[in-house]
Amino acid sequence: MRAAATAFSILATLAFSPLTLAQTPISISAELEQKVIEWRRDLHEHPELSNREFRTSKVLAEHLNALGMKVETGVAHTGVIGVLEGGQPGPVIAMRADMDALPVVEKADVPFKSEAKSEYRGKEVGVMHACGHDLHMSMLMGAAEKLASMKDQLKGTVVFIFQPAEEGAPKGEEGGAELMLKEGLFERYEPEAVFGIHVWSAGTAGHIGYREGPLMASSDRFEITVKGKQTHGSRPWGGVDPIVAAGQIIGSTQTVISRQINITKAPAVVSFGIVEGGIRNNIIPDEVYLEGTIRNFDMDNRAQIFEKLTTTAEMTAKATGAEAHVHIDEGYPVTINNIELTRQMLPTMERVAGKNKVHVNDLVTGAEDFSFFALDVPGLFVFLGVTPEGQDAKSAPSNHSPYFYADESSLKVGTELYVNWALDYSEL
């Protein structure tokens, strides 16, 4: 992580540097837009799961090499980095697109529908870009081509990050943004800021949703093993009932959020998704297994939730004579948009999409591992709507749905947003 003094100096620069913008944003040609669409369709038709993006990385590396960039491959297993050095001095910034697909059988009716199959958790599964990462990559490929064509006028350096395993590395493996940073990505290039876009079925095509500060929740998985003592159901006093203890834990841990955390700072939720225990109606088992998720929008609250969830579960079980063993698997932290960076780049978003198509987004309880990048340097992450104009975006199939569909007109907006972010940031 950067030293606090460095972070402060960046914020101070952003806070007091006026941004003078041309009236007309840089646009891409119809020819490049068509290329972006074709790249998207190819990537969509050939999706690959996390840490297995072998064909994808080859396509990306070939593209960046053809543009004359310095290219790194094999970053965090299959990640690809392209470095474009401008013809004029200026800042270093990073732009990120994720690469992996999901174990989903596609049901959307498109001519480039995925028929790909792979193995996931020991089973053969269909594979689909159900979260739109194919659009993310193709937009960043288009931005790379456009900026490379303007290399002589470009101030500074742009680092293009194509990141694997955003949806999570396979069990027993590391991956994603966290591994890229662990391998020293930002130490090698030292970007001042990082930018990212996520396509969003809940938004109309070409519309941009942004938010200062927290945007997406942290996502953490917890496991609680409740240990009792087996006995016959007709003689519960002869043992210790972990089912009753587990039921009380489920209820009492809800007070962690409602009674033990200052939720005026940020909302949070604790949800149980798995409750397993027992094999017969008249036998009280030895143990019960519970598993769930924690979502939250404040990093300090996050640490308190971990502590209080553990204490509440342990003490509740103890009161019944049982034991609770709690394990919290830390996932993605809160995705936080740097406030000053967001304010500085808002005019860019309004110029590219149109002021009437840029909106403040609601908090999103989904999580994103772009969050790791944005905790290391000031970051800006936005949503780009992809539901066709005239269709109710609120009822459109969501990201991760087998029916997820993206209006490709949004690709032009996203590509131009990356390009203009790079050009405008260099004027700060």
Catalytic residue positions, numbered? 332, 408
Helix axes 30-45, 54-66, angle to 10 degrees: 160
**Is residue 373 a contact partner of residue 163, using CB atoms and an 8 Å limit?**
no
Structure tokens at 124: 């053969």
Torsion of CA 363, 361, 163, 5, to 10 degrees: -80
Residue 427 to residue 93: CA distance in whole angstroms: 12
Residue 398 to residue 295: CA distance in whole angstroms: 19
Residue 306 to residue 316: CA distance in whole angstroms: 16
Torsion of CA 254, 257, 261, 267, to 10 degrees: 180
Residue 139 to residue 122: CA distance in whole angstroms: 33
Looking at residue 171, the DSSP 8-state letter turns out to be T
- Look at strands 379-387 and 193-204 and give their pairing: parallel
**Is residue 342 a contact partner of residue 194, using CB atoms and an 8 Å limit?**
no
DSSP of 104-135: ----S--TT----EEEETTEEEE-B-TTSHHH
Residue 230 to residue 211: CA distance in whole angstroms: 52
Rg (CA), the chain: 24
- Look at strands 287-296 and 193-204 and give their pairing: unpaired
Sheet containing 323-332, strands listed edge to edge, beginning at the edge strand earlier in sequence: 268-276, 287-296, 218-227, 323-332
